[in-house]
Amino acid sequence: GGGSIAAYMGSLGVSLATMVANLSSHKRGWDNRWKEFSDWAAKGQAYKDTLLHLVDEDTIAFNKIMSALSLPKSTEEEKVNRTNAIQSATKYATEIPFRVMQTTFASMEVIKAMAEIGNPNSVSDAGVGALAARSAVMGAYLNVKINAAGLSDKTFAKTIIAEGAIIQEKTQQLEAEILLVVNGKI
């Protein structure tokens, strides 16, 4: 679903920055910068791996909700157990896209660095990476909000929605900064 795709878009965004780092590390005349760009590539790879893991975690979260919804509800005890299971699964399904938001926003450090210092012939790739990262954060935030709406713990729901709004705003600002650099080099 949308949460998994958001995580996947985040992985694609940072993958582009990682590609720019790898291309930069092998750019003719930049031999003395190989370690610098290799370090950025390793950092990007770590973010990508985490985001790909979150693709699967989002699917697991959805399946947990579906399993909880299918629990029996004939007796009062079964109803209580079912409600608790639904709430637990829904909380998890809210936390996973929030982690996607956090991880994708953090990964934009690699994207920004590659726009600023990477191979100028690949600067547009960093720009596309920023666009994908922004879309990932915004898509994940939609999932945070829709899942949080089903939580009985309104304090948790309100807090995670507010924190998500801050991450989304910071992401959009960072995307604008990156695109300014990218467009300035094209």
* Range 155-163 contact pairs with CB under 8 angstroms and sequence separation of 24 or more: 156/91, 157/94, 160/94, 160/95, 160/98, 163/98
pLDDT tens string 75-106? 999 999 999 999 999 999 999 999 999 999 99
Q: Label residue 131 by pLDDT band (50, 70, 90).
A: very high
- Residue 135 predicted with pLDDT over 90: yes
Average pLDDT of the chain is 96
Does this model's pTM top 0.85? My answer is yes
